Amino acid sequence: MGNSKEKKNKGKSINAFIIVFGVIVACYILSFFISPGAFEREVVGGRTIVVPNSFHAIEKTYLGLQAIFQAIPNGLEASAGMMFLVMLVAGCIEVYKRTNTLDKSVAKILTSAEKVGSEKILVLIMVIFACFGGFLGWNEQIVPFIPIIISLCLALGYDLMTGVACSAMIDMISFSISPTSVYTVGISHEIAELPMFSGFLFRFILLVIFDIIVICYVLKYARKVKRDKAASITADIDDSEFRIDYSDIAKNPLTKRQSVSLAVFMITFIAAIAGVAKFGWSMNDLSACFLFTAIAAGVINKLSADKIIDCIIDGAKDGLRPALVIGLARGIQWILTSSGIIDPIINAISKPLMELPSSITAIAVMFVIALFNGLITSGSAKAMALMPILIPLADIVGMTRQTMILAFQFGDGLTNSLWFTSGTLLIFLTIAKIPLKKWWKFVTPLITILTVVSVLSLVIATKINYGPF
């Protein structure tokens, strides 16, 4: 009986690699049916941008069958910086695990939960991850922290879904309305020639509203699960690998060395926030930062050089699977670009938008970008490709450029929690072993609510001429 249930659960679990590879094959087939074309591009301020109204037909190039497999290594190469960051952060966390610093820190939080309440702990976790997505624009970078948060939530009496929701989900949703994300807002403002991160206050207010809605939604679900385990959407999923007995660990407080290494870890996060927000740090800069932290923590806790290296390598192995999903998902963009069908799709999107009244255009842009997000989930890639078209469109229909960028943000970010082509979403669900159908059941009502809020926000932005221009 038990074996039958186990097989049933195993059959329901998603395989991110199969899903993304299937999309690559579908895009390859699609390339035979779309007439190729291209926009002219020019370099402005060191960035290559699309010249509006320059679309023209080009000679069709048929990709060989080998392109399906070439998409994978090319996607891995294009995502190398992000992949190495995920693996090195995972290596850094493994050092903290081996020194027991991490487990003792979690045990201390659990002890505090008895005094302050488990729901306040959940709110604190959500606020932290909301800041990661809302101000740093982090998504994939939080991957190594997901198992830790899941273990913590299980120890507090919740379930797998709560662990993913109060970390990954709120991070992704906060990203969709980030006031200071260099990956979407930063690139868009540069192309639109707007002051960098201008319009901060309006976006910040929206971020707070979005996060309050998410926090209330998650807490409502978490309360039901704590009262009745049968109410859990993930009740039939084996979560034993995330369950850790912290009772014995809680008896031993952090040593001075562990406390110092934990302080180093916190300083690293502050440095990462400052580096991204103020100094434009790249993925490689962040990787170097966490690699330094891993070595420093090992030295502080008197680990040998060999032991530190082994920890980093073992942690990187754990980070390899999600890192490969990132690279594989990037292969979708490669095959679309190589087949010459990206620009025709962009052109097809822009034409009907130009025919709409200005009051409706912003909302239409949001929904069109949400659909386009299924093909190219990279926010920065879409910003580079679409902003040179959307900004002139805003000027033509009498909409402020700032409002157009806000519409782009909503369309790009909200559906990251829904699209099965989103490598980031697939990573989170793969780690937690949550099937896509169960995830959709949980998240769809929330995204529907937030979509309504987004539409109202765009109406307000249009009415107040959200700017400066």
pLDDT in tens, 242-276: 888 877 777 888 899 999 999 998 898 788 877 87
In the predicted structure, residue 3 carries a pLDDT above the cut 70: no
pLDDT value at position 44? 66
Share of the chain above pLDDT 90, in %: 40
pLDDT, residue 285, reads 87
Q: Which residues contact 175 (CB under 8 A, 6 or more apart)?
A: 133, 134, 137, 138, 139, 181, 184, 379, 413, 416
User: Is 5's pLDDT higher than 50?
Assistant: no
**Tokens 């941008």 sit at which residue?**
49
Tell me which of 204-213, 348-357, 413-422 is least confident.
Answer: 348-357
Domain ranges (residues) in the chain: 17-32+65-464
Q: For residues 159 and 48, which has the higher predicted lDDT (pLDDT)?
A: 159
Dig out the tokens for 24 from the structure. 């690559």
Alpha-carbon span 429 to 406, nearest angstrom: 28
Q: Encoding tokens for residue 12?
A: 């329901």
What confidence category does residue 1 fall into, taking pLDDT thresholds of 50, 70 and 90?
very low
CA–CA separation, 140 vs 345, rounded Å?
Answer: 27
Q: What is the pLDDT of residue 342?
A: 77
User: Taking 60 as the threshold, does the pLDDT of residue 9 lie above it?
Assistant: no
| 2-16, 364-378, 422-436: segment of lowest average pLDDT | 2-16
Both tokens of 343, joined, read 């620009």
Cα–Cα distance between 386 and 388 in angstroms, integer?
6
CB burial of residue 68 (10 Å; 0-12, 13-18, 19+): middle
Which tens digits make up the pLDDT trace of 202-229? 999 999 999 999 999 999 999 999 999 9
Mean pLDDT of the 353-368 span? 83
Question: Model confidence over 41-72: pLDDT tens digits?
Answer: 777 665 566 677 788 888 888 899 999 999 99
Q: What is the pLDDT of residue 14?
A: 57
Q: What percent of the chain stands above pLDDT 70?
A: 95
Average pLDDT, the chain: 86
Which pLDDT does position 49 carry in this prediction? 63
136 or 31: whose pLDDT is higher? 31
Q: pLDDT tens across 325-350, in order?
A: 878 878 887 888 888 887 887 778 77
Confidence of residue 277 (pLDDT cuts 50, 70, 90): low
> 349 with 368: CB under 8 angstroms?
yes
**Residue of higher predicted confidence among 53 and 32:** 32
Per-residue DSSP letters for 251-309?
Answer: TSPPPHHHHHHHHHHHHHHHHHHHHHHHH---HHHHHHHHHHHHHHHHHHTT--HHHHH
pLDDT at 13: 54
- Whole-model pTM over 0.95: no
Q: Assign 3-class secondary structure to 352-375.
A: HHCCCCHHHHHHHHHHHHHHHCCC
**Sole residue written with tokens 């302050």:** 116
Cα four-point dihedral sign 220, 221, 226, 230: positive
Q: How confident is the model at residue 116 (pLDDT cuts 50, 70, 90)?
A: confident
Separation CA 294–CA 85 (nearest Å): 13
